[in-house]
């Protein structure tokens, strides 16, 4: 029987013994609402996240569950209404002036749409070096900048000659590489990738995923990787966080979350994703959800998943579900879920 | 013999839709381009054929040519599209319109733009019954409510009065499907019907399509770029690349032993087959622009097996007698590898 505590899905116990260095990123209880009165919408509701240096955290959940809003909070573009964000132990929202500028360069973003996110009138070299106009001291001097642009181009698998070409002369995958090179220009510690390969062709997607993995090996960059493609998330992530209507409902190591999900929503999500094996009888193992995601203006009482949950009972409407903790290899980051009736590890529902 | 508006439905073993050598040209500012180059396939009632291919390879153009809804910039320049024994490309526009609904029907990816934003959905769904069956407004409304119930819209009687923007993406897709199956078509073409939807909603829509297909014995042409959807949903697959068919056959066989290097490359590059921490076997480069499709083999720039003959001579789509075909000079090598 898993241990049950109160709290939220990534509320990890503090490890005993010697002082542990703070994780690269630690988010606690972040809440963000939009609008007011009857049109008030809670996009993030007490979200916790943690991420170590050089790690990749996959973020999944249905459309509108708050993934991009969370990404904007991590980038400092959106100030949370409540909760804390700590980057290497410091609160980016408390920074001003030079300190803020210094922090900004450490967290970068790669967007979904390589077409819309690049200025069509700038060459690849201009696009990659543009961040240095604000952050002047990262690469000082014109010569050094030229050299660094070439290095960055080669890092993402483009050629020197590409430096003077414009976005519309590149394919989608190449444009996405320019976006990545641009994000790398400031030597960030964390890159937030919001659906970075969704707009790419399958045969090109693999190239971009390879570039991202290679950079992680070579430069130790950490990623928050948002995607609706579960096979991509499984391939790239060390840990996975699952969100539903603004709340983290499950978190754990990739294998645990995919192969031994505890939360009924995670289990349904995993089972609904089509798999390549043509001999697989998809319909047999699929956990069918009723209905659709409730309106974010009208979040159900108790457990927010109860309107679609095949395991829901009266208790689920009456009381907010507790945090269930299952032991993981790393005690500081266990496999957690928010549910009254979590799935047992062994009995993936037949 | 009297000429009926719509010829009789096909029997079980003649194809419900037979496309042969379809060519579509596009007029662009930089000249005429061939977007679809000799595409052939056929599908029987009750069966599902997947048209698989990456962005821009001509899937939608093929579909639009079949239902006669091509953009004015595009023109069918060759081939045949046969339903119920006649070539629709030789019909008058009026004759063709009679087929839309009772014989051929299409569901588009983008449900929001495909529905009329200023008309209540009940009226839109009922429209085919008024046009093709001459039902009264009230009768059509009842039919619409019946269909909305069938595709799982809760409180259909009230919701029939709502406008498209008042529905979620998944519900709008259900409405489109309701409209498309209203007149029991022989062939339903679904162009990326779930790409814009979430995983769990996608699964619901796919289930709905399958149930409707079984119940009405429709032939379904499913257009997608998602290999997993093809694996789970289709009987046969046509793999397209740069406006041409490069491989064709039963899904299980094509996916387990591809005979075209492109199909092979696609299957290998899927993260599902990969081990975390190991690089994905990516196909280098990207699909060619329409204006730069090479004259020999369309895949030559990216093919690991390319040699001189591939540059000189375009490989025809060759049938190998076991229900499969491939367009590669050296597909036997791939079969052996
Ligand atoms: N600036 C804003 N003003 C009002 N509501 C907003 C704003 N930004 C986001 N929202 C709402 O917050 C919720 C979360 O949105 P968010 O974009 O974070 O979702 P998401 O998980 O990224 O979805 P998707 O997968 O579709 O990208 C949604 O209901 C959205 O409509
Ligand atoms: N109206 C148009 N004018 C010019 N080019 C067009 C037009 N419509 C389509 N094309 C081009 O024709 C080719 C085939 O397009 P089509 O829409 O059939 O591709 P597709 O396989 O459906 O791709 P996707 O997966 O992106 O929907 C593409 O290269 C596209 O850019
Ligand atoms: S708390 Fe209840 S409704 Fe919520 S996920 Fe668990 S079983 Fe389902
Ligand atoms: S014909 Fe040649 S270039 Fe084309 S797919 Fe076959 S081996 Fe490759
Ligand atoms: Mg988003
Ligand atoms: Mg298309």
A303-323 mean pLDDT? 96
A208 CB-side CA count, 13 A = 30
What backbone phi and psi angles, to 5 degrees, belong to A349? -60, 130
Q: Rounded to an integer, what distance in angstroms lies between the CA atom of residue A162 and that of residue B43?
A: 45
**Inter-chain residue contact A235 with B276, CB threshold 8 Å:** yes
Look at ligand 1, atom 2, and give the residue with the nearest C-alpha.
A34
Whether the predicted model's global pTM rises above the 0.80 cut: yes
DSSP string, A160-204: GGGGG--GGGS-HHHHHHHHHHHHHTT--SEEEEESTTTTS-HHH
In percent, the amount of chain A with pLDDT more than 90 equals 61
**Inter-chain residue contact B266 with A202, CB threshold 8 Å:** yes
Tokens of A296: 């974010």
pLDDT digits (tens, 9 = 90+) for A142-197: 999 999 999 999 888 888 889 999 988 887 888 888 999 999 999 999 999 999 88
Four-CA torsion A164, A166, A172, A177, nearest 10 degrees: 40
Q: Which of residues 283-312 of A touch B (CB under 8 A)?
A: 283, 286, 288-289, 292-293
pLDDT higher than threshold 60 for residue B256: yes
Q: How far apart are the first and last CA of chain A?
A: 20
- Which residues partner with B4 through β-bridges? none
DSSP string, A252-267: EEHHHHHHS--SHHHH
Average pLDDT over all residues of chain A: 87
What is the C-alpha radius of gyration for chain B, rounded to an integer number of angstroms? 21
| Closest-approaching ligand to the CA atom of A59 | 1
Q: Which of B120, B165, B168 is nearest to B145 (CA)?
A: B120
Q: Rounded to an integer, what distance in angstroms lies between the CA atom of residue A336 and that of residue B319?
A: 54
- Atom nearest to A340 CA in ligand 3: 1
- Nearest Cα residue in chain B from A276: B228
Q: Grade residue A123 by pLDDT with cuts at 50, 70 and 90.
A: very high
Q: Rounded to an integer, what distance in angstroms lies between the CA atom of residue B71 and that of residue B160?
A: 31
User: Under a CB-based contact definition with an 8 Å cutoff, are residues B112 and B168 in contact?
Assistant: no
- Quick count: other Cβ atoms within 10 Å of Cβ A187? 13
Q: Rounded to an integer, what distance in angstroms lies between the CA atom of residue B60 and that of residue A302?
A: 45
B318-329 mean pLDDT? 95
Q: Looking at residue A236, what is its pLDDT?
A: 96
Q: Which of residues 96-125 of B touch A (CB under 8 A)?
A: none
- Atom nearest to B109 CA in ligand 2: 27
Smallest Cβ–Cβ distance between B200 and the set A206, A272, A276 belongs to: A272
3-class state of residue A238 by DSSP: coil
In percent, the amount of chain A with pLDDT more than 70 equals 88
Q: Which of B133, B170, B129, B166 is nearest to B146 (CA)?
A: B129
CA distances from B216 to B119, B133, B210, B213, B331 (A): 28, 18, 10, 5, 38
What backbone phi and psi angles, to 5 degrees, belong to A10? -120, 20
* d(CA B231, nearest CA chain A) in Å: 5
Q: Rounded to an integer, what distance in angstroms lies between the CA atom of residue B169 and that of residue B181?
A: 19
Smallest Cβ–Cβ distance between A292 and the set B201, B256, B280 belongs to: B201
Pairing of strands A222-226, A56-60: parallel
pLDDT digits (tens, 9 = 90+) for B91-147: 999 999 999 999 999 998 776 778 999 999 999 999 999 999 999 999 999 999 999
User: Under a CB-based contact definition with an 8 Å cutoff, are residues B156 and B186 in contact?
Assistant: no
Q: What is the DSSP letter of B102?
A: T
Q: Grade residue A349 by pLDDT with cuts at 50, 70 and 90.
A: very low
- Alpha-carbon B17 to chain mean position: 12
SS3 content of chain A, % helix, strand, coil (to 5): 35, 20, 45
- Nearest Cα residue in chain A from B207: A283
pLDDT higher than threshold 70 for residue B6: no
Residue B38, judged by CB atoms within 10 A of its CB (0-12, 13-18, 19+), counts as middle
pLDDT higher than threshold 80 for residue B12: no
**Inter-chain residue contact B271 with A272, CB threshold 8 Å:** no
Q: Rounded to an integer, what distance in angstroms lies between the CA atom of residue A125 and that of residue A153?
A: 9
Q: What is the DSSP letter of A59?
A: E
Helix (H) or strand (E) holding A6: none
For the question of an ipTM over 0.85, the answer is: yes
B234-251 mean pLDDT? 97
User: Under a CB-based contact definition with an 8 Å cutoff, are residues A169 and A183 in contact?
Assistant: no
Pairing of strands B31-43, A107-110: unpaired
Q: Rounded to an integer, what distance in angstroms lies between the CA atom of residue B309 and that of residue A103?
A: 56
Residue B301, judged by CB atoms within 10 A of its CB (0-12, 13-18, 19+), counts as middle
Measured over the CA atoms of residue B174, residue B179, residue B182 and residue B187, the dihedral's sign is negative
Q: Which of residues 286-305 of B touch A (CB under 8 A)?
A: 286-287, 302
**Inter-chain residue contact A203 with B232, CB threshold 8 Å:** no
Residues in Cβ contact with B12 at an 8 Å cutoff, skipping those fewer than 6 apart: B44, B45, B46
Q: Looking at residue A347, what is its pLDDT?
A: 39
Ligand 1, residues at Cβ distance < 6 Å: A 34-35, 41, 43, 61, 63-69, 296
Q: Does B335 touch chain A (CB under 8 A)?
A: no
Residues in Cβ contact with B120 at an 8 Å cutoff, skipping those fewer than 6 apart: B160, B161, B162, B163
pLDDT higher than threshold 80 for residue A242: yes
């Amino acid at each position: 029987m898993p241990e049950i505590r109160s709290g939220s899905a990534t509320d990890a116990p503090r490890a005993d013994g010697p002082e542990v260095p703070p994780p690269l990123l630690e988010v606690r209880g972040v809440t963000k609402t939009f609008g007011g009165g009857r049109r008030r919408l809670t996009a993030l509701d007490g979200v916790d996240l943690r991420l170590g240096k050089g790690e990749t955290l996959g973020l999944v959940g249905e459309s509108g569950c708050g993934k991009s809003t969370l990404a904007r909070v991590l980038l400092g573009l959106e100030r949370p209404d409540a909760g804390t964000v700590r980057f290497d132990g410091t609160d980016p929202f408390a920074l001003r002036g030079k300190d803020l500028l210094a922090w900004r360069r450490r967290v970068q973003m790669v967007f979904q749409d390589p077409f819309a996110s690049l200025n069509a009138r700038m060459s690849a070299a201009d696009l990659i070096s543009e961040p240095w106009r604000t952050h002047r001291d990262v690469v000082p001097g014109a010569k050094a900048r030229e050299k660094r642009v070439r290095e960055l181009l080669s890092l993402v698998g483009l050629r020197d000659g590409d430096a003077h070409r414009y976005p519309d002369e590149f394919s989608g995958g190449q444009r996405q590489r320019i976006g990545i090179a641009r994000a790398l220009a400031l030597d960030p510690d964390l890159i937030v990738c919001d659906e970075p390969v969704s707009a790419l062709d399958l045969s090109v997607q693999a190239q971009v995923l390879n570039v991202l993995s290679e950079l992680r090996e070579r430069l130790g960059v950490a990623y928050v990787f948002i995607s609706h493609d579960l096979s991509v998330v499984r391939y790239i992530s060390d840990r996975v966080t699952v969100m539903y209507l603004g709340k983290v409902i499950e978190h754990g190591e990739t294998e645990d979350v995919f192969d031994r999900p505890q939360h009924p929503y995670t289990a349904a999500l995993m089972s609904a994703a089509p798999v390549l094996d043509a001999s697989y009888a998809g319909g047999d193992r699929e956990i069918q959800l009723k209905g659709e995601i409730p309106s974010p203006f009208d979040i159900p009482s108790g457990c927010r998943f109860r309107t679609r949950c095949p395991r829901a009972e009266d208790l689920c409407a009456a009381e907010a579900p507790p945090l269930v903790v299952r032991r993981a290899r790393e005690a500081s980051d266990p496999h957690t879920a928010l549910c009254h009736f979590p799935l047992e590890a062994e009995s993936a529902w037949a | 013999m009297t000429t009926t508006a719509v010829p009789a439905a096909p029997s079980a073993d003649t194809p419900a839709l037979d496309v042969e050598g379809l060519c579509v040209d596009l007029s662009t500012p930089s000249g005429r381009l061939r977007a679809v180059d000799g595409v052939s396939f056929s599908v029987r009632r009750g069966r599902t054929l997947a048209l698989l291919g990456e962005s821009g390879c001509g899937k939608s153009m093929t579909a639009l040519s079949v239902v006669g809804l091509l953009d004015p910039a595009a023109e069918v320049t060759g081939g045949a599209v046969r339903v119920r024994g006649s070539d629709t490309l030789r019909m008058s526009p009026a004759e063709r319109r009679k087929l839309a609904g009772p014989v051929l029907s299409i569901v588009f990816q983008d449900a929001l733009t495909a529905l009329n934003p200023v008309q209540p959905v009940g009226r839109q769904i009922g429209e085919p019954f008024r046009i093709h069956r001459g039902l009264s407004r009230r009768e059509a409304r009842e039919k619409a409510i019946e269909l909305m119930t069938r595709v799982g819209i809760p409180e259909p009687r009230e919701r029939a009065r709502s406008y498209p923007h008042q529905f979620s993406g998944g519900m709008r897709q259900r409405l489109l499907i309701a409209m498309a199956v209203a007149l029991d078509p022989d062939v339903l073409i679904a162009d990326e019907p779930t790409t814009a939807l979430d995983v769990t909603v996608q699964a619901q829509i796919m289930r709905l399509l399958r149930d409707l297909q079984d119940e009405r014995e429709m032939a379904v042409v499913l257009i997608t770029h998602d290999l997993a959807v093809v694996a789970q949903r289709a009987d046969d697959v046509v793999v397209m690349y740069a406006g041409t068919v490069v491989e064709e056959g039963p899904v299980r066989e094509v996916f387990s032993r591809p005979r075209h290097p492109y199909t092979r490359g696609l299957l290998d590059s899927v993260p599902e087959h990969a081990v975390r921490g190991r690089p994905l076997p990516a196909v280098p480069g990207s699909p060619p622009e329409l204006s730069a499709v090479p004259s020999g083999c369309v895949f030559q720039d990216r093919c690991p097996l390319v040699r001189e003959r591939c540059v000189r001579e375009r490989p025809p789509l060759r049938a190998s007698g076991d229900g499969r075909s491939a367009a590669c000079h050296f597909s036997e090598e791939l079969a052996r590898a």
